[in-house]
Amino acid sequence: MCNAKRCVLFAGFALVLLAGSAAADLRVYWTDWDTASGDMAVDRASMPGGVPESFGEPSSWPGPIAVESNFRLVFFVDGETIRVKSVDGGPVPDVLTGTTTITALALDDGGADTLYYTTADFRLQRADFNGNGITTILSGPLVVGAAWDLAVDKAHGRLYWVRNGGILRAFQDGTDRQQIVSEYGLKGVAVDESGGKVYFTDQTPPRIQRANLDGSGVETVLDLTDDPWRIRLDGLGKMYWAEAGDSPSPYARIKSANTDGTDVETIADLGSNWTEFIAVESGSYSCARTRVFGDVVVTGSVNFFDISQVVGCFQNDPVRCPEYIHRRADLSPCDAPTNTCRGDGSVDFRDIFTDVGAFQGLGCQ
């Protein structure tokens, strides 16, 4: 027999997350360079309306940032080194130390656990999350070029990168390299996998554009007055970008808008500082998990957008996970007579959890 409260809260909570209503748990990260003092930092703020706070202090140059969604780890470039830190703080071990500046960074956290990055000497490379298995995928000034930004399309197994002259893409093994957009002044790129769009920032003139994944159908989403740099999407209908310049006077801001260009907001005004790089953490989490980087243990958490992780979380922490879920949910009651738990009055939780018996064994009884 289904316990009405527990069953519907868990099933309905998963439905709410899949529908994208957990935006309040999202945090945005960006680089912040005080050009007067020379101080450098990675800052962040919770959305919506959070107060900016310092997250880390690179020792040389604050470069690209990327958030790993499954373990809630933030990878950030510190000059020639990729470092990692839990969103909850703790140690900051080095993952990979190179011999030249890393110019762009992207993650495949869909099970492959792969870092993709570009370097100042025109290489597109990959390694695992521990920095092992470094492989050069493509190289050369004409093949890769001086890359400004990099994005992974996990759904289609492709990489997209911006260089002087446009946007290129290739499969993750480097094959089928194509230039899909030919345009100067582009600085950032992000992929909307479900929507089948690639978004990119342009400084000539300042604007945010998008196109189909093959580069066709280019359209302007939002005209801007100041120069945009890197751009990221949260998968919940929002885009975030950094903008910075010195005309007519120095400025630096972190902004957001809906992916259709509406509802533009300023997240942080950095005054006369400088910023270029940005990353987005989204999802709701519980249940600590760990990764080991060398001899350093970094603790992260389960992503509640991933249903398989939710079930694993329930199995590994049957006390704390239900309590967390109950605190977060506010949904209609379970249809106990038919053992059918409906989060919104129409969707059966068995549409999400195919093994009803296994789910009931985890606490819905």
> CATH number, domain at 106?
2.120.10.30
Same domain, yes or no: 336 and 273: no
Pair 253, 107 in one domain: yes
Whether residues 191 and 325 share a domain: the answer is no
Residue 248 lies in a domain: yes
175 with 143, same domain: the answer is: yes
Q: Are residues 8 and 76 in the same domain?
A: no
> Left, alpha or beta for 237 (phi > 0: left; psi -120 to 50: alpha)?
left
Q: Give φ, ψ of 312 to 5 degrees.
A: -65, -35
The verdict on 29 and 12 lying in the same domain is no
**Looking at the domain assignment, is residue 351 inside a domain?**
yes
End-to-end Cα spacing for the chain:
6
At residue 231's C-alpha, the angle toward residues 225 and 234, to 5°, is 125
**152 shares a domain with 11:** no
For the chain, give the mean pLDDT: 76
Q: Can you give the residue range of the structural domain that contains 242?
A: 25-286
Residues 121 and 168 in one domain: yes
List, for the chain, all residue ranges whose pLDDT scores fall below the cut of 70. 1-25, 69-71, 110-112, 282-365
Can you give the pLDDT at residue 70? 63
Predicted local distance difference test score (pLDDT) of residue 282: 59
User: Residues 318-339: pLDDT tens digits?
Assistant: 444 443 333 333 333 333 333 3
**Does 292 map to a domain?**
no
Q: Provide the domain count of the chain.
A: 2
75 and 51 belong to one structural domain: yes
